[in-house]
């Protein structure tokens, strides 16, 4: 039943002063706009015993794994763009030779791979410094095995 249709003695706020009615109205409005769940707005400490919480998005991983995944995503995007461009050129020309398009669009990739391999082989070897006290025996053999089955015999 709507409050206007109630008898005056049963209406909310009946027999109240203007000040009491204003306080009651303010409380009703505040309760209506209060969020359903309480949210603590106090600042979170920068460090403590609480373990980290996984956030939405990329899963947590090491810096090397993050760098590798970004590199793979970038490579995939570049590959998709080159393939899409090739497809558009072949479709637009209607008589493009697929071998020629493969050579033209594949040449930059081959050049990048060749330069990467060249820089990998021209990288200087790191200097290794060991500091020992007392008699030390160093054995720095490099053993290379090839084949499906390999046997290692480390007898001295």
Q: Residues 28, 72: one domain?
A: no
Q: Residues 26, 68: one domain?
A: no
- Give the count of beta carbons closer than 10 Å to the beta carbon of residue 108: 11
């490579």: which residue's tokens?
75
105 close to 85: Cβ distance less than 8 angstroms: yes
Whether the model pTM is above 0.75: no
With respect to residue 86, please indicate whether it lies within any of the assigned structural domains.
yes
With respect to residue 117, please indicate whether it lies within any of the assigned structural domains.
yes
With respect to residue 107, please indicate whether it lies within any of the assigned structural domains.
yes
Question: Which tens digits make up the pLDDT trace of 1-57?
Answer: 455 555 555 555 567 899 999 999 999 988 888 776 667 777 776 777 777 777 787
Taken in order 19, 22, 26, 28, is the CA torsion positive or negative?
positive
With respect to residue 141, please indicate whether it lies within any of the assigned structural domains.
no
With respect to residue 47, please indicate whether it lies within any of the assigned structural domains.
no
Mean pLDDT of the chain: 78
Residue 20 lies in domain:
7-33
What pLDDT is attached to residue 136? 83
Q: Residues 113, 71: one domain?
A: yes
Q: How many domains does the chain have?
A: 2
Please count the residues of the chain: 156
């Amino acid at each position: 039943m709507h409050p206007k249709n109630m008898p005056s003695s049963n209406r909310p706020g009946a027999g109240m002063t203007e000040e009491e009615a204003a306080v009651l109205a303010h409380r009703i409005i505040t309760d209506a706009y209060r969020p359903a769940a309480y949210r603590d707005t106090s600042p979170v400490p920068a460090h403590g015993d609480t373990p980290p919480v996984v956030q939405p998005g990329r899963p947590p991983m090491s810096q090397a794994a993050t760098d590798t995944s970004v590199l793979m995503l970038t490579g995939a995007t570049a590959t998709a763009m080159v393939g899409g461009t090739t497809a558009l050129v072949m479709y637009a020309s209607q008589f493009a030779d697929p071998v020629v398009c493969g050579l033209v669009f594949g040449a930059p990739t081959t050049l990048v791979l060749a330069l990467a391999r060249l820089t990998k082989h021209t990288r200087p070897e790191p200097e290794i410094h060991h500091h020992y006290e007392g008699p030390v025996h160093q054995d720095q053999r490099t053993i290379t095995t090839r084949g499906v089955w390999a046997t290692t015999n480390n007898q001295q």
